[in-house]
Amino acid sequence: MSNIKWFTLMLALGSGALTVAQAGTTAADHKGNNMYQINITLDDAVITARLDDTPTVRDFIGRLPMTVKLEDYAATEKVTYLPRKLTTEGAPAGVDPAIGDIAYYAPWGNIAIYYKDFGYSPGLIKLGEITSGMAHLKFSGAKQATIELIQTN
Protein backbone atom coordinates (compact mmCIF):
# COMPACT_ATOMS: atom_id res chain seq x y z
CA MET A 1 0.00 0.00 0.00
CA SER A 2 1.40 3.42 -0.94
CA ASN A 3 2.38 5.82 1.84
CA ILE A 4 -0.34 8.32 0.80
CA LYS A 5 -3.08 5.70 0.88
CA TRP A 6 -1.81 4.33 4.22
CA PHE A 7 -1.71 7.84 5.71
CA THR A 8 -5.24 8.53 4.40
CA LEU A 9 -6.44 5.23 5.86
CA MET A 10 -4.87 6.08 9.23
CA LEU A 11 -6.58 9.48 9.17
CA ALA A 12 -9.88 7.79 8.38
CA LEU A 13 -9.49 5.33 11.24
CA GLY A 14 -8.24 7.91 13.70
CA SER A 15 -10.72 10.70 13.07
CA GLY A 16 -13.80 8.87 11.94
CA ALA A 17 -14.38 11.83 9.61
CA LEU A 18 -13.68 9.97 6.38
CA THR A 19 -15.74 7.17 4.93
CA VAL A 20 -14.32 3.82 3.84
CA ALA A 21 -14.76 4.84 0.18
CA GLN A 22 -12.69 7.97 0.74
CA ALA A 23 -9.94 6.09 2.57
CA GLY A 24 -8.81 4.36 -0.66
CA THR A 25 -8.34 7.58 -2.63
CA THR A 26 -5.38 9.90 -2.91
CA ALA A 27 -5.06 13.55 -3.85
CA ALA A 28 -3.99 12.42 -7.34
CA ASP A 29 -7.24 10.46 -7.71
CA HIS A 30 -9.27 13.67 -7.28
CA LYS A 31 -7.58 15.49 -10.17
CA GLY A 32 -9.83 13.71 -12.68
CA ASN A 33 -13.06 14.46 -10.81
CA ASN A 34 -15.60 16.86 -12.23
CA MET A 35 -15.50 20.48 -11.25
CA TYR A 36 -18.49 22.67 -11.86
CA GLN A 37 -18.40 26.32 -12.84
CA ILE A 38 -21.25 28.66 -11.99
CA ASN A 39 -22.10 32.29 -12.56
CA ILE A 40 -23.79 34.42 -9.94
CA THR A 41 -25.31 37.44 -11.67
CA LEU A 42 -26.09 40.57 -9.62
CA ASP A 43 -27.61 43.32 -11.77
CA ASP A 44 -25.04 43.60 -14.60
CA ALA A 45 -22.16 42.14 -12.57
CA VAL A 46 -21.06 38.52 -12.86
CA ILE A 47 -19.29 36.52 -10.18
CA THR A 48 -17.72 33.26 -11.34
CA ALA A 49 -17.12 30.32 -9.04
CA ARG A 50 -15.78 26.79 -9.18
CA LEU A 51 -17.59 24.08 -7.21
CA ASP A 52 -16.21 20.71 -6.14
CA ASP A 53 -17.73 17.38 -7.12
CA THR A 54 -19.50 16.23 -3.94
CA PRO A 55 -22.99 14.91 -3.21
CA THR A 56 -23.96 18.28 -1.68
CA VAL A 57 -22.73 20.19 -4.75
CA ARG A 58 -24.47 17.79 -7.15
CA ASP A 59 -27.72 18.28 -5.21
CA PHE A 60 -27.24 22.06 -5.42
CA ILE A 61 -26.42 22.23 -9.15
CA GLY A 62 -29.36 19.94 -9.87
CA ARG A 63 -31.57 22.83 -8.72
CA LEU A 64 -29.95 25.42 -10.99
CA PRO A 65 -30.68 27.85 -12.46
CA MET A 66 -32.25 29.68 -9.54
CA THR A 67 -32.99 33.26 -8.67
CA VAL A 68 -32.46 34.11 -5.00
CA LYS A 69 -32.17 37.07 -2.67
CA LEU A 70 -28.60 37.55 -1.38
CA GLU A 71 -28.42 39.44 1.88
CA ASP A 72 -25.70 40.28 4.35
CA TYR A 73 -25.19 38.21 7.46
CA ALA A 74 -22.92 39.30 10.34
CA ALA A 75 -20.91 41.63 8.07
CA THR A 76 -19.02 38.50 6.99
CA GLU A 77 -21.03 36.66 4.35
CA LYS A 78 -23.82 36.97 1.83
CA VAL A 79 -26.52 34.36 2.38
CA THR A 80 -29.59 32.96 0.74
CA TYR A 81 -32.00 30.41 2.13
CA LEU A 82 -32.96 27.44 0.00
CA PRO A 83 -36.58 26.25 -0.07
CA ARG A 84 -35.43 22.67 0.61
CA LYS A 85 -32.29 21.42 2.39
CA LEU A 86 -29.40 19.86 0.46
CA THR A 87 -28.00 16.41 1.11
CA THR A 88 -25.11 16.21 3.56
CA GLU A 89 -24.04 12.71 2.47
CA GLY A 90 -20.30 12.22 2.94
CA ALA A 91 -19.80 15.78 4.22
CA PRO A 92 -17.30 16.66 6.95
CA ALA A 93 -18.54 17.66 10.40
CA GLY A 94 -17.67 21.28 9.63
CA VAL A 95 -15.14 23.56 7.94
CA ASP A 96 -13.17 26.76 8.52
CA PRO A 97 -14.14 28.92 5.53
CA ALA A 98 -11.75 31.29 3.81
CA ILE A 99 -12.53 34.54 2.03
CA GLY A 100 -14.15 33.65 -1.29
CA ASP A 101 -15.51 30.29 -0.15
CA ILE A 102 -19.04 29.26 -1.01
CA ALA A 103 -20.54 26.97 1.61
CA TYR A 104 -23.77 25.36 2.71
CA TYR A 105 -24.81 25.71 6.35
CA ALA A 106 -26.80 22.52 6.88
CA PRO A 107 -28.53 23.41 10.19
CA TRP A 108 -30.26 26.44 8.62
CA GLY A 109 -30.36 25.28 4.98
CA ASN A 110 -28.61 28.34 3.57
CA ILE A 111 -25.87 29.05 1.06
CA ALA A 112 -23.13 31.40 2.31
CA ILE A 113 -20.53 33.31 0.30
CA TYR A 114 -17.73 34.55 2.57
CA TYR A 115 -16.24 37.98 1.89
CA LYS A 116 -14.53 38.18 5.30
CA ASP A 117 -12.62 35.61 7.33
CA PHE A 118 -14.61 33.41 9.67
CA GLY A 119 -13.78 30.54 12.04
CA TYR A 120 -14.62 26.87 12.04
CA SER A 121 -18.35 26.10 12.06
CA PRO A 122 -19.88 22.69 12.69
CA GLY A 123 -22.49 21.91 10.04
CA LEU A 124 -20.77 24.07 7.41
CA ILE A 125 -19.97 22.30 4.13
CA LYS A 126 -17.64 23.91 1.60
CA LEU A 127 -19.08 23.82 -1.92
CA GLY A 128 -16.33 25.71 -3.77
CA GLU A 129 -14.80 29.13 -4.18
CA ILE A 130 -15.17 32.38 -6.09
CA THR A 131 -12.74 32.59 -9.02
CA SER A 132 -13.56 36.12 -10.18
CA GLY A 133 -15.77 39.04 -9.24
CA MET A 134 -15.35 39.10 -5.43
CA ALA A 135 -15.59 42.90 -5.48
CA HIS A 136 -19.23 42.62 -6.56
CA LEU A 137 -20.11 41.26 -3.10
CA LYS A 138 -19.37 44.63 -1.52
CA PHE A 139 -22.95 45.86 -1.42
CA SER A 140 -25.23 46.73 1.44
CA GLY A 141 -28.77 45.49 1.85
CA ALA A 142 -30.13 42.71 -0.31
CA LYS A 143 -29.85 42.03 -4.04
CA GLN A 144 -31.52 39.58 -6.35
CA ALA A 145 -29.06 37.10 -7.83
CA THR A 146 -29.32 34.47 -10.54
CA ILE A 147 -27.15 31.40 -10.06
CA GLU A 148 -26.58 29.17 -13.06
CA LEU A 149 -24.35 26.29 -14.07
CA ILE A 150 -22.14 27.28 -16.97
CA GLN A 151 -19.63 24.45 -17.26
CA THR A 152 -18.76 20.96 -16.09
CA ASN A 153 -15.10 19.91 -16.38
pTM of the model: 0.77
Give pLDDT, residue 19.
Answer: 29
Chain-centre distance for alpha carbon 71: 17
Q: What does the DSSP assignment read for the chain?
A: --HHHHHHHHHHHHHS-S-HHHHT--HHHHTTS--EEEEEEETTEEEEEEE--SHHHHHHHTT-SEEEEEEEETTTEEEEE-SSPPP-TT--SEE---TTEEEEETTTTEEEEESS----EETEEEEEEEEE-GGGG--SSEEEEEEEEEEE-
What's the CA gap between 85 and 120, in Å, rounded?
21
Closest residue by Cα to residue 57 from 23, 83, 33, 32? 33
Q: What is the mean pLDDT of each run of 10 residues along the chain (153 residues)?
A: 36 33 33 80 96 97 97 96 96 97 98 96 98 95 96 73
Where do you find CATH 2.40.100.20 in the chain? 33-152
CATH code 2.40.100.20 for 33-152: yes
Give pLDDT, residue 35.
Answer: 92
Give pLDDT, residue 17.
Answer: 34
- Residue 110 forms beta bridges with which residues? 81, 105
Give pLDDT, residue 16.
Answer: 36
